[in-house]
């Protein structure tokens, strides 16, 4: 792969979020599944795409769109016992890493490494990221306890794959939301 292409990364500050919308259904605050639209288009050019979703809520819409699509690996790290009430188990090409309320940086990081190992085995030509920041300890809607450094680390790990990568904004509602996004971008770029 051309090195210049392998280092391309972009980030979309699009709102509203999208990963709860499926092909025929709205959900959460989501009307259009931004990541699903982009990945569907990307599959015209790339053979295999991995979608990494670290929003606090399970991306049930994204999973519904790509379930059993062998060219897509969907990996989600999310809180359980919260909307939409899905993602408790992995299914086919959709790998779910649910966390209980109160899970912190260390608990997440162990699961994150497991998921990234599966991404490495899949060997994608493109990585698409559903970047959610509602897992931050200060977010008013959720109960995970990530730190700002968690997001910089996520960005660094994703960058280390050295394949074209793009991210779209998902959730995040706390007063320190912008700082969490900034930390992610520090690692991602």
Q: Is 19 a catalytic residue?
A: no
What is the residue-wise DSSP string for 17-71? --TT--SS--BTTBSS-HHHHHHHHHTTT-S-EEEEE-SSS--HHHHHHHTT-TT
Both tokens assigned to 3: 């090195």
Q: Which of 20, 58, 78, 105 is catalytic?
A: 20
Q: Edge-to-edge, what's the strand order for the sheet holding 72-79?
A: 9-12, 165-169, 126-131, 49-53, 72-79, 94-99
Burial of 21 (0-12, 13-18, 19+ CB in 10 A): buried
- Specify whether the CB–CB gap between 133 and 171 falls below 8 A: yes
> Which ranges in the chain belong to alpha helices (H)?
3-6, 34-42, 60-66, 105-122, 148-159, 177-188
Residues taking part in catalysis: 20
């Amino acid at each position: 792969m051309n090195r210049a292409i392998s280092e391309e990364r972009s980030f979309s500050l699009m709102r509203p979020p999208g990963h709860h919308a499926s092909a025929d259904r709205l959900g959460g605050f989501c009307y259009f599944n931004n990541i699903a639209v982009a990945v569907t288009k990307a599959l015209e050019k790339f053979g295999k795409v991995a979608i990494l979703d670290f929003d606090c809520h399970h991306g049930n819409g994204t999973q519904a769109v790509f379930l059993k699509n062998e060219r897509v690996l969907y990996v989600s790290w999310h809180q359980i016992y919260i909307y939409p009430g899905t993602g408790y188990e992995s299914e086919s090409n959709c790998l779910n890493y649910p966390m209980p309320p109160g899970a912190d940086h260390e608990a997440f990081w162990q699961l994150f490494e497991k998921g990234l190992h599966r991404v490495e085995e899949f060997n994608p030509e493109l990585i698409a990221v559903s970047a959610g920041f509602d897992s931050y300890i200060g977010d008013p809607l959720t109960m995970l306890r990530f730190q700002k450094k968690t997001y910089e680390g996520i960005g660094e790990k994703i960058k280390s794959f050295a394949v074209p990568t793009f991210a779209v904004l998902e959730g995040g509602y706390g007063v320190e939301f912008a700082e969490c996004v900034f930390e992610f971008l520090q690692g991602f770029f």
